[in-house]
Structure 1
Amino acid sequence: MSDAIADAKRALRAELRERRSMRSEQGRREAAAGIREQLDALVERHGARSISCFLSTSIEPGTREFVGGAVARGIRVLLPITRKDGLLDWTVAEPEFDIAEGLFGQPEPVGELLGPIAVNDVDLMIIPAAAVDRTGMRLGWGRGFFDKTIGSMERCPPVYAVIFDSEFVDELPSDLHDQRVTGAVTPSRTIVTAEHPGS
């Protein structure tokens, strides 16, 4: 990756992280309700019975209500657990599960570990992001877990990144290893981008 691209990504991530941290508690609650509504509709539209999702941190668009509701409806939900080698293990979300701190301080479930290939069986992937652009390019938080996962899948299902409305932008800095997503889910809408093979 060129220094210019790396610097541009770092600066953008810092700006987005700061903007997220300034959101009010009320704004976060409203965003979580909107995300749940959009994700519920997305799952129904795809007829998904097995999905992957993530447990949102305190400043991310909230996914926990959605995960709980999906599990209650009998949908199999895989949640990621970070590994030191840069890959992701997965565990099946249960109606009641403990949450621990992951390698980088993010919330992760405690449960039986399934290997990285467990995600190959899902009908739909819902992943975190800092931003998404109109071509489906996703800006992650710099550790590459989801880029590696998506890039290694033989048959990648539709992949949607969860962001706030203002984080859907015209263009993002990107490099060769960056993976595009099928679309973005925000509190107010679900956007399908044109350039991802899973769309």
Structure 2
Amino acid sequence: MTDGIDDAKRALRADLRERRQLRSEAAHETAAAGVKEQLDALVDELGARSLSCFLSSPTEPGTQEFIRDAVARGIRVLLPITRVDGLLDWAVADPDGEIADGLFGMPEPTGEVLSPLAVNDVDLLVIPAAAVDRTGMRLGWGRGYFDKTLGSMEHCPPVYAVIFDSELVDDVPRDLHDQPVTGVVTPTRTVTLAPHRR
């Protein structure tokens, strides 16, 4: 049974990755501006003073402008750093800080490293995804970092995945370890999908 789920996930991820790579630079710039507007509104609505986010890669809906602006507004932003053991360390976002390729070639900060527990203090988690379905089930990129993080949090704040509009789908293949999200942020809207779990 699990093999069938894994195969379905792999096929869907490959399709989504290809679609993302076909987007024009102009489309990515427009998406980044939309995502920033939606995330700014979400932060204001939740009154978040601290949050986690991720440094977007060139094919992802852009988060970097949002992060710079949030830090300038006095919001504490934690950025993930991948570890070989499947956990995430964190670093406080610094607009003047260096960015390097992480374990899997994704952009990551190079500042002072905080432990996986640092994320327990945030008011909002903003995470990447390949797709999310209408029940809030998230399909990640297959390495399990965010599923492990969410699954280990005793008091999880609201979790929003950043995706393109077409990546909010009716259904995604799911496994036992997969963790749902509260909602999604796209370039055009923010959608709350599942009740917030504490």
TM-score (norm 2): 0.98
Question: After superposition, what is the alpha-carbon deviation per residue over 1:145-192, rounded to whole angstroms, capped at 9, x for unaligned?
Answer: 000000000100000000000000011100100000000000000000
What is the one-letter code of the residue matched to 1:71?
A: V
Report the Cα offset of residue 94 of structure 1: 1.3
SS in 1 for 2:161: strand
Please give the root-mean-square deviation of Cα atoms over the aligned residues, in Å: 0.8
Structure 2 partner of 1:147: 147
Q: In structure 2, what is the Cα distance between the partners aligned to 1:33 and 1:190?
A: 14
Structure 2 partner of 1:41: 41
What is the one-letter code of the residue matched to 2:76?
A: R
SS in 1 for 2:32: helix
Structure 2 partner of 1:93: 93
What is the 5 A alignment of 1:79-118? Answer: 79-118=79-118
Q: In structure 1, what is the Cα distance between the partners aligned to 2:37 and 2:7?
A: 36
What is the one-letter code of the residue matched to 1:125?
A: L
SS in 1 for 2:62: coil
SS in 1 for 2:79: strand
Structure 1 partner of 2:71: 71
User: 2:157–2:196: 8 Å Cα contact kept in structure 1?
Assistant: no
Gaps of 5+ in 2: none
Structure 2 partner of 1:125: 125
Report the Cα offset of residue 95 of structure 1: 2.6
Q: In structure 2, what is the Cα distance between the partners aligned to 1:43 and 1:76?
A: 12
Report the Cα offset of residue 196 of structure 1: 4.4
TM-score (norm 1): 0.98
Structure 1 partner of 2:164: 164
User: 2:181–2:194: 8 Å Cα contact kept in structure 1?
Assistant: no
User: 1:180–1:196: 8 Å Cα contact kept in structure 2?
Assistant: no
Q: In structure 1, what is the Cα distance between the partners aligned to 2:196 and 2:74?
A: 28
Report the Cα offset of residue 195 of structure 1: 4.4
Structure 2 partner of 1:18: 18
Structure 1 partner of 2:7: 7
Report the Cα offset of residue 194 of structure 1: 2.5
SS in 2 for 1:42: helix
Report the Cα offset of residue 20 of structure 1: 0.1
Q: In structure 2, what is the Cα distance between the partners aligned to 1:196 and 1:47?
A: 15
What is the one-letter code of the residue matched to 1:38?
A: Q
What is the one-letter code of the residue matched to 1:27?
A: A
Percent identity among equivalent residues? 73
- Structure 1 runs, 4 residues or longer, greater than 3 Å off: none
In the alignment of these two chains, the number of paired residues is 198
- Cα 1:172–1:28 shift into 2, 3 Å: same
